[in-house]
Chain A
């Protein structure tokens, strides 16, 4: 139930927030060396995308964006499960989760 007096933040604000969050996530991915933190940054980027999806879904009054968010969340959850498992495995072999030490694929 929507009231006319209710302040509705314009979509652009959400998009700006989303972009800000995305950039913060991206910066985290690029800057951080701790795998956990990179992982968290990736989550941040995924969620910024979710925010953008939801914002546009409200803006266009289209449920598709909302649905997509569910998918993203599902995928992110799966990703976390796999990713954390990988990190655990790496840690067991390397005794470290510093990704700069994981350069054995160097050409």
Chain B
């Protein structure tokens, strides 16, 4: 191991140091509320992490085998006298994770820098929205500005935990942490006076939908642990490979003696043992044959063939990937996630976090290779997602929604690629997509803020021409009038834009470069990566190839539509007319990303002697393969993209609409456009199929079962009836009847008899004397009688 790899922990420590600084000292750093200090700290940390990633990359150039840098032992569990199950927290530096680190930290750093400019404006705007002044406004700025960069650095660190993890469990830790950051950042403006609730709901939606995926991921991890007895990547994969190639019993690293394994054991014993130890102990050999994965894995008492278990594992992993990487059926959260500030959309929901699924599948390529059925499912899911999302993107009007669906579609391309075994193509597209989609999102953020500046400028102009001549009273009137009348044009609605290229040239040109890269025009980055995916699809599956080709046609079309609507034609609102270019801190990252979008393809040119990325990944991705360049595929894809751009230009660019009230030219196609605009009614479908039955079920549980049955009937009627009835019995017949009766009866008896006996005490002495005399007589008679008888 090279000494340089020892710096690997820094890549995680630096962002977390940024989290620490900004969380605890962020507000103090902002003595001046307009100071960008927390942003600078966060950006320096991100830049530091990027430097570390670069150094590790250089180290890998010399030693592509990479290294595993142990940090500490996370868990150590004694599972039998001879065996301890250990999970170390080890950083894995290999060619795959290094690519991910470079993309995450590189794009991440640019977005951190961009976010300094963006968030200063955004926070300022939110101060206005909340009508804050003076110290309150300053405190608000300090709080939110530093909080944003705390979260952003936390995300960066979490993502790096994810990609450097050496076991499925550490990967899962990162997986969950990035989900948390995503939640925190989508709902960042959850106290927005207008959209706060919507933002919070979007955050919840993202988190809850991701839980479904995380469930799949967790189940996959449990099954992996059960079947392979390890969660460490190398151990799992080497056992998997061993099972593909040779005698499967040999793949068990533990000897039968060690496992106290007895071939003659009855199934009950087997079950007891597997229940007690589980891991690998549950492996029992069946008829063996190379390539046939028929080793039995016991889940409880039932043995499943290894092949079926691996298929289940990989399908569950796919479920995890559909959640994190926004594929059918779990993609619905991503468009809503655009509620977060734009740098978040760019970093988390386009460039990095959503690629976690692709990374995870690539990392598990050995497992997917063992399960051809899962590979097919992955490819088809990816292809369908690519197509469906692309169709929806065509009919959106929100500039960020178009990009969101575009992201889903492009993630579909990557998923399809890894499903087809084109891991190199998938990772290649992941990297180039990170460049141009981050560029597009940041560009859209710049456009939105340009529009917002236009709105503010319009307001200021409006205010000046009226305000100066009037006294205070009129001012008040004017303000009321102004609030009623001046509904701001939505700064994200593309119908309100137009002609922004002249007003925001840097943003405009970089945006056009990003769009062309996304559309896949030679020689921009997107062309090479998409071409490689299409090449794999062409070789492997005609269905997926057709799906992806149609999707790439639509991609070029909707990007042309977007660029035409936003940048060309005439401004359709005053806001667009008065929009201004963003400051350098915003545009410089755009320029850098623009350059990356142009030249990103160089990292993996599909010609003999190039394919650097492919060869690079061969060291860590067992089944990486490099398809042979096919000119036909490349030409077809270029023609398709150019045709789509031409068609888009015909529809949107040639005669741009003049008013924001105009209908979309495609709306005349009838209900189809409405169907696409409504996003295929996916949300409504889930609403009807899942959410409403769920709410009804909850309602049933809450109102009928809990309230009516449990509370009203069981509690209020049955229990309290029993209790009241029992109390009544206890109080009336038993307490009042028996207990009181006894006591009162005794008292009555005593007082009654006393009343009777009182009569004897006449007070007349002679009566007493008479009684005494009579008594004597009786005694005498008794004595006499005794004497006589």
Q: Are B759 and A107 in contact (CB under 8 A)?
A: yes
Indicate whether B485 reaches chain A with its CB closer than 8 angstroms: no
Q: Are A107 and B770 in contact (CB under 8 A)?
A: no
Q: Are A99 and B766 in contact (CB under 8 A)?
A: yes
State the Cβ distance, B776 to closest chain A Cβ, in Å.
9
In chain A between 78 and 107, which residues have their CB closer than 8 angstroms to a CB of chain B? Answer: 99-100, 102-107
On chain B, the residues within 8 Å of A107 by CB distance are: 757-763
On chain A, the residues within 8 Å of B762 by CB distance are: 103, 106-107
Can you list 7 A-B contacts (CB < 8 A)?
A30-B769, A30-B773, A100-B766, A102-B765, A104-B763, A105-B763, A107-B760
Q: Which residue of A lies closest to B761 (CB)?
A: A107
Q: Are B773 and A103 in contact (CB under 8 A)?
A: no
On chain B, the residues within 8 Å of A26 by CB distance are: 773
Indicate whether B72 reaches chain A with its CB closer than 8 angstroms: no
Interface size class of B (residues with CB under 8 A): 10 to 19
Indicate whether A29 reaches chain B with its CB closer than 8 angstroms: yes
State the Cβ distance, A71 to closest chain B Cβ, in Å.
21
State the Cβ distance, B770 to closest chain A Cβ, in Å.
6
A99, B766: Cα distance in complex, Å:
8
On chain B, the residues within 8 Å of A30 by CB distance are: 766, 769-770, 773
Q: Are A105 and B761 in contact (CB under 8 A)?
A: yes
A107, B754: Cα distance in complex, Å:
10
Return the 10 tightest CB-CB contacts between A and B, nearest first.
Answer: A107-B761, A103-B763, A106-B763, A107-B758, A105-B763, A99-B765, A29-B769, A103-B764, A30-B770, A30-B766
Q: Are A29 and B763 in contact (CB under 8 A)?
A: no
Q: Which residue of A lies closest to B765 (CB)?
A: A99
On chain A, the residues within 8 Å of B769 by CB distance are: 29-30
State the Cβ distance, B87 to closest chain A Cβ, in Å.
98
Q: Are B766 and A106 in contact (CB under 8 A)?
A: no
Besides A107-B758, A107-B761, 17 more A-B contacts (Cβ < 8 Å) are A30-B766, A30-B770, A30-B773, A31-B766, A99-B766, A100-B764, A100-B766, A102-B765, A103-B762, A103-B763, A103-B764, A104-B763, A106-B761, A106-B762, A106-B763, A107-B757, A107-B759
Q: Are A29 and B761 in contact (CB under 8 A)?
A: no
Query: Residues on A close to B: CB < 8 A?
Result: 26, 29-31, 33, 99-100, 102-107
Q: Which residue of B lies closest to A105 (CB)?
A: B763
Q: Are A29 and B758 in contact (CB under 8 A)?
A: no
A9, B760: Cα distance in complex, Å:
45
On chain A, the residues within 8 Å of B765 by CB distance are: 99, 102
A106, B767: Cα distance in complex, Å:
11
A28, B235: Cα distance in complex, Å:
131
On chain B, the residues within 8 Å of A106 by CB distance are: 761-763
On chain A, the residues within 8 Å of B757 by CB distance are: 107
A102, B762: Cα distance in complex, Å:
10
Q: Which residue of A lies closest to B759 (CB)?
A: A107
State the Cβ distance, A96 to closest chain B Cβ, in Å.
14
A31, B757: Cα distance in complex, Å:
25
On chain B, the residues within 8 Å of A33 by CB distance are: 766
In chain B between 740 and 789, which residues have their CB closer than 8 angstroms to a CB of chain A? Answer: 757-766, 769-770, 773
A102, B767: Cα distance in complex, Å:
12
A33, B769: Cα distance in complex, Å:
12
State the Cβ distance, B650 to closest chain A Cβ, in Å.
129
On chain B, the residues within 8 Å of A105 by CB distance are: 761, 763
A104, B763: Cα distance in complex, Å:
6
A31, B764: Cα distance in complex, Å:
12
A106, B764: Cα distance in complex, Å:
8
A30, B765: Cα distance in complex, Å:
9
Q: Which residue of B lies closest to A35 (CB)?
A: B765
A70, B773: Cα distance in complex, Å:
25
A99, B767: Cα distance in complex, Å:
11
Q: Which residue of A lies closest to B755 (CB)?
A: A107
State the Cβ distance, A30 to closest chain B Cβ, in Å.
6
On chain A, the residues within 8 Å of B770 by CB distance are: 30
A78, B761: Cα distance in complex, Å:
28
On chain A, the residues within 8 Å of B773 by CB distance are: 26, 30
On chain A, the residues within 8 Å of B766 by CB distance are: 29-31, 33, 99-100
A106, B769: Cα distance in complex, Å:
15
State the Cβ distance, A98 to closest chain B Cβ, in Å.
11
A29, B774: Cα distance in complex, Å:
13
A31, B769: Cα distance in complex, Å:
10
A105, B764: Cα distance in complex, Å:
8
A107, B761: Cα distance in complex, Å:
5
On chain A, the residues within 8 Å of B764 by CB distance are: 99-100, 103
Q: Which residue of B lies closest to A100 (CB)?
A: B764
A103, B773: Cα distance in complex, Å:
20
State the Cβ distance, B292 to closest chain A Cβ, in Å.
114
State the Cβ distance, A31 to closest chain B Cβ, in Å.
8
Q: Which residue of B lies closest to A32 (CB)?
A: B766
State the Cβ distance, A20 to closest chain B Cβ, in Å.
16
On chain B, the residues within 8 Å of A103 by CB distance are: 762-764
A49, B769: Cα distance in complex, Å:
18
On chain B, the residues within 8 Å of A31 by CB distance are: 766
A100, B767: Cα distance in complex, Å:
10
In chain B between 350 and 386, which residues have their CB closer than 8 angstroms to a CB of chain A? Answer: none
Q: Which residue of B lies closest to A29 (CB)?
A: B769
State the Cβ distance, B11 to closest chain A Cβ, in Å.
109
State the Cβ distance, B250 to closest chain A Cβ, in Å.
114
State the Cβ distance, B774 to closest chain A Cβ, in Å.
10
A32, B445: Cα distance in complex, Å:
133
Q: Which residue of A lies closest to B768 (CB)?
A: A105
On chain A, the residues within 8 Å of B761 by CB distance are: 105-107
Q: Which of A102, A104, A107 has the most CB of B within 10 A?
A: A107
Q: Which residue of A lies closest to B773 (CB)?
A: A26
Interface membership of chain B positions 113-142, coded 1 if the CB is closer than 8 angstroms to chain A and 0 otherwise? 000000000000000000000000000000
Q: Which residue of B lies closest to A99 (CB)?
A: B765
State the Cβ distance, A28 to closest chain B Cβ, in Å.
11
State the Cβ distance, B59 to closest chain A Cβ, in Å.
120
A37, B253: Cα distance in complex, Å:
132
Q: Which of B757, B761, B762, B765 has the most CB of A within 10 A?
A: B765
A18, B566: Cα distance in complex, Å:
152
State the Cβ distance, A25 to closest chain B Cβ, in Å.
11
A26, B774: Cα distance in complex, Å:
11
State the Cβ distance, B737 to closest chain A Cβ, in Å.
34
A29, B759: Cα distance in complex, Å:
22
State the Cβ distance, B756 to closest chain A Cβ, in Å.
11
A100, B766: Cα distance in complex, Å:
8
On chain B, the residues within 8 Å of A29 by CB distance are: 766, 769
A33, B770: Cα distance in complex, Å:
13
On chain A, the residues within 8 Å of B759 by CB distance are: 107
A33, B765: Cα distance in complex, Å:
10
A105, B765: Cα distance in complex, Å:
10
A21, B758: Cα distance in complex, Å:
34
Interface membership of chain B positions 250-275, coded 1 if the CB is closer than 8 angstroms to chain A and 0 otherwise? 00000000000000000000000000
Q: Which of A31, A33, A104, A106 has the most CB of B within 10 A?
A: A106
A107, B757: Cα distance in complex, Å:
9
A103, B761: Cα distance in complex, Å:
9
A30, B761: Cα distance in complex, Å:
17
State the Cβ distance, B204 to closest chain A Cβ, in Å.
89
A107, B446: Cα distance in complex, Å:
113
A31, B767: Cα distance in complex, Å:
10
State the Cβ distance, A55 to closest chain B Cβ, in Å.
19
A107, B762: Cα distance in complex, Å:
6
A26, B771: Cα distance in complex, Å:
12
A103, B770: Cα distance in complex, Å:
15
State the Cβ distance, A35 to closest chain B Cβ, in Å.
9
